[in-house]
Amino acid sequence: MCFYVGSEVVLANLLLYRKATDDQTGVSMEDISKYCTKLKQKIKKLEWVDTNYIYINVNPDSVDEAISRYKIEFKKFNSKYYINEGININYFNTLYTSEVAEVLKETAVSLNE
């Protein structure tokens, strides 16, 4: 079974949980790439995940598609991604167990260190 994480889930968790002084602090594709690298490492540590089948769908096109599908939650300006009107994280994380949701959050928080 493949473990899949979509770009909208990556954006929601990264934008919501990264260290920011306000909603005007955006993330770049480089920030997203760093998050995905750490996220994959942490997901591999979960006992029940087959490490050969982890797919994190993040590239500029998939992120732009997520922005266009979730216009209320996200916006893009000058090659950076931002929270638009707010994020209901439960909406994005409902496909995952609470254990995975915690990994998504912890990984974003760990980028602050």
What pLDDT, on a 0 to 100 scale, did the predictor assign at position 21? Answer: 45
What pLDDT, on a 0 to 100 scale, did the predictor assign at position 92? Answer: 92
What are the C-alpha distances in Å from 102 to residues 12, 15, 38, 89?
Answer: 13, 15, 14, 11
Number of domains in the chain: 1
Q: How many residues does the chain have?
A: 113
Domain that holds residue 57: 3-110
- Return d(Cα 5, Cα 35) in angstroms, integer: 12
- Return d(Cα 62, Cα 21) in angstroms, integer: 27
What pLDDT, on a 0 to 100 scale, did the predictor assign at position 62? Answer: 94
Residue with tokens 């306000």: 22
- Return d(Cα 43, Cα 107) in angstroms, integer: 10
The helix or strand, by DSSP H or E, that contains position 81, with its residue range, turns out to be: strand 80-83
- Return d(Cα 91, Cα 96) in angstroms, integer: 11
Residue with tokens 């980028």: 111
pLDDT tens, N- to C-terminus, the chain (113 residues): 678 889 999 999 999 988 654 455 789 999 999 999 999 889 888 877 766 778 788 999 999 999 999 999 999 998 899 988 888 999 999 988 888 999 999 999 988 77
Contacting residues for 64 by C-beta, under 8 A, at least 6 apart: 76
